[in-house]
Amino acid sequence: MIRPLVEPGAEPGPAETLRTARQTRLPGIGPDGARRIAAARVLVLGAGGLGSPVLLSLAGAGVGTLGIVDDDEVARHNLHRQLLFGVDDIGTPKTAAAARRIAGIAPDTVVHEHRLRLDEAEARRIFTGYDLVVDGTDNFATRYLADSICDALGLPLVWGAAVGYDAQVTVFWRGAPAGRATRLTDLHPSAPADAPNCEDAGVLGPLTAQTGALMAAEVLKLVTGVGDPLLGRMVSIDARSALFREIPLRAAGVDAGATADAGVAANTTAVDAGPHPTGRSAPAASAPRISVRELRERLAARDAGRDAFTLLDVREAAERAERSIPGSIHRPLDMLDPAGIDRAHPVIVHCHGEARAERAAASLSAAGLDVAVLRGGIVGWSES
C-alpha cells in the first residue's frame, strides 16, 4: 500500500452516497475513501478509445472533478470503441459530448473541458490544477510531453496503450517508493519508428474498454491508497489468448540487471507512433489540426483566388484511387521529399486518418514548412 494521494474532502450528498454505496462498502475504501474520491481532481488526456472508458469509470466511481483534454470531434468510426458517445454526438466536440454524458451519470462531478491540442505552456498551466493525469492519447509527441510535465510537477501519470489485440498499463511517478519510480523514457528512450497504430493495425473495441477500466482502477488506488498500484511494473494484455503478463520496469541506471531486460518491455509495447523524438527530451507538440469544415471553406476561397495553400495526400496510390479530395496533390509518405513541396504557401496534409499525416507533418515542419493536419483525414472528409 502507498499513502493516499488525496486528502478526504466533504462528505458527498445523500444522492451521491447512495449512488456509490456498493463501492463504499469495499474494505479499504469506506466513507473515508469515498470522501477522497469525491475530492479528487483527475485530468484525462484524450477522450478516445482509452479516455472514453476511463471517464465513464471515474464518473461512475464519484470522482469530484474531471478534466478532459481533446481537440477532436466525434466521428462515426469512433463509435465501435468509444462508448462514451452515440450516433447523435457525431460532429460534436468530444469534450462537450463527454461532459454531457458524465452529467447524466454523476451529476455531482464537475467537468472542465479543455478543447485544445497540448503544447508545453498549456500542459504546464492545465496540469497544475489536478492531482494526477491519465494518458489516453495516441501519439508519442503528446505522450512524451505529458511525461515530462508530470515529472516536473511531481504528478502521477497513469499510462495505457492499446492497438490490435495487445494493450499495456502502468503508472509513472517520481514520488513512488524507492526503486519503483519510472518514466516513459525508461520504457521508450525514443519513439519506436515502426510501432503500429490503430489507423493501420486496427484495435479490438472490448480491449480498449478493458484497458481503460484497468487505468481507472489505478487512479482509484492512487487516490485512496488501496492496494498496490502499477508502479515499477507494467501489465501487458494479449486479448487473443486472454493472457495477462507482468513486466518489471526500472529507471535507467537503477539495478537494470535485476529486472526484465529493456528489450522485452519495448518489444511488448504496442502504441501509436508519432513523430520520432531525439534523445530523452520532450518533443515539440504535434502539428495543428484543421477541421473538414475549415478545409472546405479554404478550398472554396482558393478556387476564388482568396487563399493559397497546398493540400497534400500522403496515402498509397491504391487508397487514393478509391477516393480523394479534389484539388489535392499526391506524395506517398515513404516517397515524401520536403524539397519537392512549395515553400511559398502553407501545407495541409491528410491521410486515411491522422497517423501518417502526423509523421509527414513532422518531416515537413523540420524542413521549415508551415504545416497543418486534416482532422479525421479522408474518413472525416467522407463522413462530413
Residues forming the active site? 198, 351
The amino acid present at 79, given as its one-letter code, is: L
Per DSSP bridges, beta strands 41-45 and 132-135 are parallel
Run of H or E including 233: strand 233-238
Measuring CA to CA, how many Å separate 216 from each of 4, 82, 197? 16, 15, 22
**C-alpha–C-alpha distance, residues 251 and 236, integer Å:** 18
Contacts of 335 (CB under 8 A, 6+ apart): none
Measuring CA to CA, how many Å separate 203 from each of 19, 27, 281, 378? 33, 35, 29, 19
| HSE toward the beta carbon, residue 157, CA cutoff 13 A | 29
Decide: residue 375, CB within 10 A, 0-12 exposed, 13-18 middle, 19+ buried: buried
Check: CB of residue 5 under 8 Å from CB of residue 222. yes
Other residues' Cβ atoms within 10 Å of the Cβ of residue 305: 7
